[in-house]
Structure 1
Amino acid sequence: MQRRRIKHTTSFEERLAQEARRFKQAAEKEAPGSTARELFLRRARQAETASHMNAWLTSPALQIPKTDVQQDN
């Protein structure tokens, strides 16, 4: 069985932003306070959070954590 490969034409950031917009638009169509609306808004927040985490992880300022514990020899 061969694995399917997908060549994306947009960046990961753009796809996350599109997904967040799509979920927000779907939430606007639902009644205020409905379970479906809350689920759409939660998914939109998750996409936005993923976008922020990706930006943080790919930033050039991110450095490897240094350990402060010194070993006694």
Structure 2
Amino acid sequence: MSKHLTTLQDRLAAWADGIREQAATMASGPEQDALLKKIAQADQATELYNWINSPELQPPK
């Protein structure tokens, strides 16, 4: 098991930023659409991670 110096949230954001830059240089088409879908998935994963780790989240009673 490896230890990361950055959080999952930071790694997802950095990866999504790189993909956004790559998608911005591409012409519209299926390849760009696939990259945009990956960005949306990374954004959803970040939102889920934030929700799971929020202090307001309470265990079921």
Fold shared per TM-score above 0.5? yes
| RMSD over aligned Cα atoms | 1.1
Flag the structure with higher helix content. Answer: 2
Identity of aligned pairs, percent?
33
TM-score, length of structure 2 as denominator length: 0.89
1:11 equivalent in alignment to 2:4: no
| Deviant stretches of 4+, over 2 Å | none
Distance in 1 of aligned mates of 2:15 and 2:40: 10
Q: Which runs of 5+ in 2 are unaligned?
A: none
**How far is the alpha carbon of 1:11 from its aligned partner?**
0.8
5+ long unaligned stretches in structure 1? 67-73
1:48-70 alpha-carbon deviations (Å, 9 max, x no partner) = 1100100000001001345xxxx
- TM-score (ref. length: structure 1): 0.76
Q: Secondary structure at the match of 1:62?
A: coil
Which structure has more relative contact order (CA 8 Å, sep 6+)? It is: 2
Query: How many pairs were matched up?
Result: 61
Of the two, which has the highest radius of gyration? 1
